């Protein structure tokens, strides 16, 4: 199929480009040209924040696409731009939203897409407002919304919980036998999703009417306490995991915006199953080993 990715050289978007190319698709990517692109993609260079330039660059490409995957939609304005520019140019658009749209407390266990209480934090609120633009759209464009939780894999930093979230020196810290300071002792449950799996899920949406106008949680297959994420990494390095507990109230006093990490992030995938959509299936042990090996290789 002909795929257009908004993004394409970043973590998730770059992974999506590589997986799509490996599946044999024709892949175009929209970026500002600030990072190297995966070999084999067709570049379209424009800043989406420049609305006029974006509209004219896409229109002058004189193309249409089977699927547009927007990996960098963060606001209702971005969503409106997608609709204005791509209605008529694509059969289907997938918007990568986030589990951060959900209200942190209280929430059901597991959280299904039918849970309609939303966060007050700005990142998740803006993603939710972007979702609402698609939801209120009517028939102009077939859309699908995916809500991943923590995404991991080569190309990103390791770490899923404060105070070691996306810590560039996590491996050095563990190798030095230093304890990790984890909020709530790392007991919050998560379902980290391997980036290549999420890419496959995005691609599997393409042209599936059962996914049109639908929102799907997009977690990984395993429910683990966050400390286990770090223990898997420590095991792979052959070191012992030591954890020091950071009080939840202390973290939130310092950084109220980190509330999204202070709840169990456990999500139902029944909706995706019922739609016949691929559900991420790489076991977290396997995916994290791939991620750690990539980090070790990059630093050697």
Ligand X SMILES: NC(=O)c1ccc[n+]([C@@H]2O[C@H](COP(=O)([O-])OP(=O)(O)OC[C@H]3O[C@@H](n4cnc5c(N)ncnc54)[C@H](OP(=O)(O)O)[C@@H]3O)[C@@H](O)[C@H]2O)c1
Outline where DSSP puts E strands in the chain. Answer: 2-6, 26-31, 42-45, 67-70, 93-96, 143-147, 151-152, 160-161, 164-165, 180-183, 189-190, 193-194, 214-217, 224-225, 243-246
Q: Establish if 150 lies at the interface with ligand X (CB under 6 A).
A: yes
Q: Nearest-CA neighbor of 199 among 3, 64, 57?
A: 3
77 or 245: CB nearest ligand X: 77
Residue from 33, 43, 108, 256 touching ligand X (CB under 6 A): that is 33
CB atoms within 10 A of CB 82: 24
CB of 12 vs ligand X, minimal distance in Å? 3
Q: Establish if 49 lies at the interface with ligand X (CB under 6 A).
A: yes
- Choose the binding region for ligand X from 30-38, 79-87, 220-228, 233-241 (rule: CB under 6 A): 30-38
Convert residues 189-228 into a mask of x (bound to ligand X by CB under 6 A) and - (unbound): ----------------------------------------
First to last CA, the chain: 38
SS3 label, residue 132: helix
Strand 143-147 relative to strand 42-45, pairing: unpaired
Residue from 3, 4, 10, 259 touching ligand X (CB under 6 A): that is 10
Cα–Cα distance measured from residue 108 to residue 266, given in angstroms and rounded to the nearest whole number: 9
Most distant CA pair in the chain, distance? 56
Phi-psi region of 298 (alpha: psi -120 to 50; beta: other; left: phi over 0): alpha
Residue from 19, 79, 151, 170 touching ligand X (CB under 6 A): that is 151
CB of 238 vs ligand X, minimal distance in Å? 27
Q: Establish if 31 lies at the interface with ligand X (CB under 6 A).
A: yes
What residues contact residue 54 under an 8 Å CB cut-off, 6+ apart? 46, 47, 48, 81, 85
Q: Establish if 128 lies at the interface with ligand X (CB under 6 A).
A: no
Residue from 81, 98, 142, 144 touching ligand X (CB under 6 A): that is 98
97 or 142: CB nearest ligand X: 97
Give the nearest residue (CB) to ligand X. 10
Residue from 3, 67, 69, 71 touching ligand X (CB under 6 A): that is 71
Q: What are the φ/ψ torsions at residue 184 (nearest 5 degrees)?
A: 60, 20
77 or 270: CB nearest ligand X: 77
Give the interface with ligand X as residue ranges (CB under 6 A). 7-13, 30-35, 47-49, 71-72, 96, 98, 148, 150-151
């Amino acid at each position: 199929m002909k795929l257009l990715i908004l993004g394409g050289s970043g973590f998730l978007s770059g992974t999506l480009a590589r997986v799509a190319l490996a599946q044999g698709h024709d892949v175009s990517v929209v970026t500002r040209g600030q990072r190297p692109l995966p070999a084999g993609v067709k570049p379209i260079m424009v800043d989406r924040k420049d609305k006029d330039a974006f509209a004219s660059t896409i229109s002058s490409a004189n193309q249409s696409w089977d699927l547009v995957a927007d990996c960098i939609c963060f606001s209702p304005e971005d969503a409106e731009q997608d609709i204005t520019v791509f209605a008529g140019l694509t059969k289907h658009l997938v918007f990568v939203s986030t589990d951060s749209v959900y209200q942190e407390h209280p929430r059901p266990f597991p959280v299904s897409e039918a849970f309609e209480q939303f966060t007050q934090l700005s990142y998740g609120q803006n993603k939710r407002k972007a979702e609402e633009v698609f939801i209120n759209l009517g028939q102009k464009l077939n859309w699908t919304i995916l809500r991943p939780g923590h995404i991991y894999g080569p190309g990103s930093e390791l770490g899923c919980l404060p105070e070691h979230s996306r810590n560039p020196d996590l491996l050095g810290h563990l190798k030095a036998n230093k304890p990790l300071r984890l909020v709530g002792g790392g007991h919050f449950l998560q379902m980290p999703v391997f980036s290549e799996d999420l890419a496959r899920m995005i691609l599997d949406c393409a042209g599936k009417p059962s996914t049109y106008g639908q929102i799907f949680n997009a977690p990984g297959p395993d429910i683990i306490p966050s400390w286990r994420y770090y223990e898997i990494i420590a095991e792979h390095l052959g070191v012992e995991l030591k954890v020091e507990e950071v009080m939840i109230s202390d973290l939130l006093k310092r950084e109220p915006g980190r509330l999204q990490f202070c709840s169990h992030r456990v999500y139902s995938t029944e909706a995706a199953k019922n739609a016949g959509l691929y559900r991420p299936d790489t076991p977290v042990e396997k995916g994290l080993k791939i991620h750690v090996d990539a980090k070790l290789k990059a630093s050697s």
